[in-house]
Amino acid sequence: MTGKLGHITFISIILLAGGTTLTVVGSQQEMSLLVGAGVGLIIAGLWLLRPLAQEVIEWLDRRRL
């Protein structure tokens, strides 16, 4: 992966990791605000990964897999 898609993928991975961390810490501390923020970051990371998913699906279609 190069270019813009690579940068977006990297940012998405950071968002997913941060969201997971906030969700776990928030649930251990029983702080629903942290859990909500973590879930929001996870959703944002997944939303940013949509172009990568579309590219993977197109690649699979080209190879008829």
Residues 27, 35: contact at Cβ < 8 Å?
A: yes
Q: Which residues, including other chains, have CB under 8 Å from residue 60's CB and lie 6 or more apart?
A: none
Estimate the crossing angle of helix 50-62 against helix 32-48, to 10 degrees. 40
**15-27: pLDDT as tens digits:** 999 999 999 999 9
- What pTM value is reported for the model? 0.80
Q: Is 60 left (phi over 0), alpha (psi -120 to 50) or beta?
A: alpha
Whether the pLDDT of residue 1 is over 70: the answer is: no
